[in-house]
């Protein structure tokens, strides 16, 4: 029996400049920028066996059909490029190191890991190398599963999307592009992300549903203008090391994302009271201690506390003393900027 088997781990990522709203086939309305994490990742093993049969998914060793609609839609989207995929029975074995659906980009790491496995098998079948073209294909395919998954194909800082008014190949909506370390000031090379788990369960409104509401949003054009400007300025601040400038962009982007949700029709709120409690405690603490510690939020209630590696001990003491009371069961995750996906076999 012809058989292919491969495993990858792929990281979650945290966006500094957000995108909210899509166009076409899973393409972002505005350019966005993130850095990939390390501790928060998905490990996925994919087995192709020659023959016809339904795709199976196993989560933490248990058969799970809940993800099959999204997985099957993903396979349908990549099959025009990967025709042979329909000749195989596919088994997927996957698990996360963090809670699914709680606003820590589990779909990003999940589809990145799945896309890497399938792109690797595609390369084996077609005798192609695992080169930069392979990564671009994996990023393109990951995007078809979950937009932000395109960024999780790379480590470090990553950009995705077209900048309004430019046709430069540096900016593309098809796949994500890693930002060279030479374009990042040494101050930001070892950023850490302490994730405060305000709510350790699946959020009430999915990101996919939220993205769709932007199309007719009253503030859509204003948001696109803001996002383009913040994207340009974020890259400049990352390059010149201006911490205060970067702080303003990161926090403004987080609040703008949630303002869009709260002003859409129908409107919804993913923040919880303890999300705001954490933010207010952080603002007071950093003012008192004169430390660079910045919050951001994804599409969920959990708070990402981004800070410098040199301050990690002080931040953790603050988290344990002041913030765990606002976390479900006192839970939080200490993470940091990561090197990106890794092939496991």
Q: Per-residue pLDDT tens for 59-115? A: 999 999 999 999 999 999 999 999 999 999 999 999 998 876 555 768 999 999 999
Answer whether 153's CB lies under 8 Å from 176's CB: yes
pLDDT value, residue 162 = 87
Residue 55 half-sphere exposure toward CB, CA atoms < 13 A: 21
Residue 174 pLDDT class (50, 70, 90 cuts): very high
Domains delineated in the chain? 3-182 (3.30.230.10), 189-336 (3.30.70.890)
Nearest one of 270, 239, 235, 238 to 254, comparing CA atoms: 270
How far apart CA 225 and CA 232 sit, in angstroms, is 11
Q: What pTM was computed for the model?
A: 0.94
Is there a contact between 12 and 105 (Cβ–Cβ < 8 Å)? yes
Distance CA 307, CA 190 (A): 9
């Amino acid at each position: 029996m012809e058989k292919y088997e491969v495993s990858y781990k792929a990281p979650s990522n945290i966006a500094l400049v957000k995108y909210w709203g899509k166009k076409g086939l899973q393409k972002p309305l505005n350019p966005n920028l993130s850095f990939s994490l390390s501790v928060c990742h998905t490990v996925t093993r994919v087995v192709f066996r020659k023959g016809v049969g339904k795709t199976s998914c196993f989560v933490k060793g248990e058969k799970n059909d809940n993800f099959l609609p999204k997985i099957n839609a993903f396979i349908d989207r990549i099959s025009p490029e990967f025709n042979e995929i329909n000749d195989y029975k596919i088994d997927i074995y996957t698990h996360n190191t963090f809670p699914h659906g709680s606003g820590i980009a589990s779909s990003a790491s999940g589809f990145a890991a799945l896309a890497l496995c399938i792109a690797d098998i595609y390369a084996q079948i077609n005798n192609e190398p695992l080169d930069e073209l392979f990564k671009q294909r994996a990023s393109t395919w990951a995007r078809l599963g979950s937009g932000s998954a395109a960024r999780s194909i790379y480590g470090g800082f990553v950009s995705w999307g077209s900048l309004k008014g430019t046709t430069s190949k540096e900016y593309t909506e098809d796949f994500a592009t890693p930002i060279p370390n030479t374009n990042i000031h040494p101050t930001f090379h070892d950023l850490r992300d302490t994730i405060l788990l305000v709510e350790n369960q699946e959020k009430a409104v999915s990101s996919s549903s939220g993205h769709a509401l932007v199309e007719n949003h009253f503030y859509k054009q204003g948001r696109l203008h803001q996002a383009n400007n913040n994207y340009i300025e974020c890259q400049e601040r990352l390059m010149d090391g201006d911490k205060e400038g970067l702080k303003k962009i990161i926090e403004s982007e987080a609040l703008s994302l949630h303002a869009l949700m709260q002003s859409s029709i129908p409107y919804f709120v993913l923040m919880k009271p303890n999300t705001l409690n954490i933010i207010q405690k952080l603002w007071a603490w950093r003012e008192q201690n004169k430390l660079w510690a910045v919050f951001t939020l994804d599409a969920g209630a959990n708070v990402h506390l981004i800070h410098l590696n040199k301050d990690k001990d002080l931040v953790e003491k603050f988290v344990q003393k002041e913030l765990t009371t606002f976390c479900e069961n006192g839970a939080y995750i200490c993470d940091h900027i990561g090197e990106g996906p890794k092939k496991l076999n």
